[in-house]
Amino acid sequence: MSKNEIPFEGFHGKVALITGGASGIGRASALLFAQSGAEVAVVDVDEAGGATVVQEIKDEGGKACFIAGDVTQAAECRWAVEETVKAFGNLHILVNSAGIVHRGTILETSEKEWDRTLAVNLKGIFLACKYAIPEMIQGGGGAIVNISSGWGLAGGRQAAAYCASKGGVVLLTKAMALDHAHQNIRVNCVCPGDTDTPMLRTEARQLGFSVEKFLAGAADRPMGRLGTPEEIAQSVLFLASEAASYITGAVLVVDGGGLAGTG
Ligand code: NAP
């Protein structure tokens, strides 16, 4: 991306922690925040992927570090925040992008699969915020962007645990926005539609579909194509930026018109 194409350059001196930053939407966000001047801590269970993203950022002249961490573990979330502050001196932005998909009805979902889906997609946000918010308060404020899903706003077939977790993210976002507005912390969420990341391929496998057919089906929306991780990252960057200084508790749907209506 050339300098002229960067939408918000106001991230110099800002520190962003991005969970799930090794892949997909988190990776694209990490790269975009770094290109916009932020120092970026990439937190993920995928150590090889995380290290690669950090190297990509450094190769472009940005500043980043990788912190291995599982967002379902309180101690690892606390460690990730501590290491971020140790590396960059502060924490202004938290992007909660770590997530997993589980496709199945309630009858097709084991208790273990339910627990894991809710633990990564919902409890992981609770834990990351629990340790990040005190740092933001100390620094005078911050911005949190949670990645929910179109399936946090409308139900999808054979996705019971996933929809439950993503619906939870939407209302957790709004509740947190109310609680922390007076501390100058804005909390918003992005609801992407189907986006071309490794997660979609995992879904195809879980449902026993060919990846090609599944991706073609997922593109069946008004704009006739999947979203790109870079397009979702632009909306994340906007919500974290000064351009969104009066926006909190908002739900930004980025889905090529998928939820726009039934016509
Ligand atoms: P992705 O490419 O699979 O990236 C998710 C990343 O999170 C992976 O690196 C994954 O590591 C990591 N992760 C999984 N569990 C973790 C844990 N417990 N702790 C820390 N990191 C963990 O998926 P994506 O499509 O970018 O998804 C990002 C977010 O967008 C998710 O919350 C997803 O639900 C949401 N979303 C995606 C779509 C879509 O169509 N792609 C649509 C709507 C919403 P591993 O690969 O090792 O598991």
Structure tokens at 33: 């925040």
Q: Which residue of the set 162, 188, 215, 255 is catalytic?
A: 162
Q: Does the reported pTM lie above 0.75?
A: yes
Question: pLDDT at residue 256 above 80?
Answer: yes
What's the 26 CA to ligand 1 centre distance in angstroms?
Answer: 7
Distance CA 25, CA 22 (A): 9
Question: Sign of dihedral through CA atoms 75, 233, 201, 119?
Answer: positive
Query: Which ligand 1 atom minimizes the distance to the CA of 25?
Result: 26
Residue 162 annotated as catalytic: yes
Structure tokens at 57: 């950022």
Distance CA 260, CA 192 (A): 13
Q: Given this model, what pLDDT does residue 192 score?
A: 98
Give per-residue pLDDT as tens, 40-75: 999 999 999 999 999 999 999 999 999 999 999 999
Pocket test for ligand 1, best of 45, 153, 202, 253 (most atoms within 8 A of CB): 45
Give 4's pLDDT tier (boundaries 50, 70, 90): very low
Structure tokens at 34: 């770094």
H or E, element range at 192 = strand 185-192
Cα 83 to the center of its chain, rounded Å: 20
Structure tokens at 69: 């961490």
Question: pLDDT at residue 8 above 80?
Answer: no
Mean pLDDT of the chain, nearest integer:
96
Helix (H, G, I), strand (E, B) or coil at 245: coil
Kindly list the protein residues whose Cβ atom lies closer than 6 A to any atom of ligand 1: 19-20, 22-26, 44-46, 49, 70-72, 97-100, 120-121, 124, 147, 149, 192, 194-195, 197-200
CA atoms within 13 A on the CB side of 116: 9
DSSP 111-160: HHHHHHHHIIIIIHHHHHHHHHHHHHHHHT-EEEEEE--GGGTS--TTBH
Query: Which ligand 1 atom minimizes the distance to the CA of 46?
Result: 47
Pocket test for ligand 1, best of 97, 200, 220, 235 (most atoms within 8 A of CB): 97
Distance CA 185, CA 135 (A): 11
- Residue 103 CB partners (closer than 8 Å, separation 6+): 158, 159, 162, 203, 206, 207
